[in-house]
Structure 1
């Protein structure tokens, strides 16, 4: 006789914090989105990053915006 272990229902997936403001315009000179100030690789990899990685990027965004994307 095989034994089965009941698993608790998982429920809806946990939402991921994002700085996206749905204004997707990438600056050619800096490769930054002018809506959220992330790079294309950051945007593309966002859902795969850890919470700590996302938090580190989000902490940088105000400085990127203040510089207007220069020197990112």
Structure 2
């Protein structure tokens, strides 16, 4: 009998939305990943991908807060 738990886990798809342009901090304005996170995505483990996605969520919140503070 084999453990199917790890095999049945779906892989995180790339968060790329084809709006690729780096901001002044080298973060993509489309997916909110750094250039290193983008380039290394396919070689990352599932745990590493989840960590990247969590950082993207934090970046999104920070951008929203910055826009709110600027009155945009």
Superposition TM-score tier, normalisation by shorter sequence: 0.5 to 0.7
The structure in which a higher percent of residues are helix is 2
Question: What is the CA–CA distance in structure 2 between the aligned matches of 1:15 and 1:58, rounded to whole Å?
Answer: 12
Match of 2:48 in 1: 53
Cα distance change, pair 57–15 in 1 and its aligned pair in 2 (3 A): closer
Question: What is the CA–CA distance in structure 1 between the aligned matches of 2:46 and 2:53, rounded to whole Å?
Answer: 10
Measure how far apart 1:55 and its partner are. Answer: 0.7
Q: Give the unaligned 5+ runs of structure 2.
A: 1-9, 67-72
Q: Give the unaligned 5+ runs of structure 1.
A: 1-13
Cα distance change, pair 32–46 in 1 and its aligned pair in 2 (3 A): same
Aligned length: 55
Match of 1:25 in 2: 21
The runs of 4+ residues in structure 1 deviating greater than 2 Å are: none
Q: TM-score, normalised by structure 2?
A: 0.67
Q: Give the RMSD, CA atoms, in angstroms.
A: 1.9
Counterparts of 1:1-72 in structure 2, within 5 Å, are 17-27=13-23, 29-68=24-63
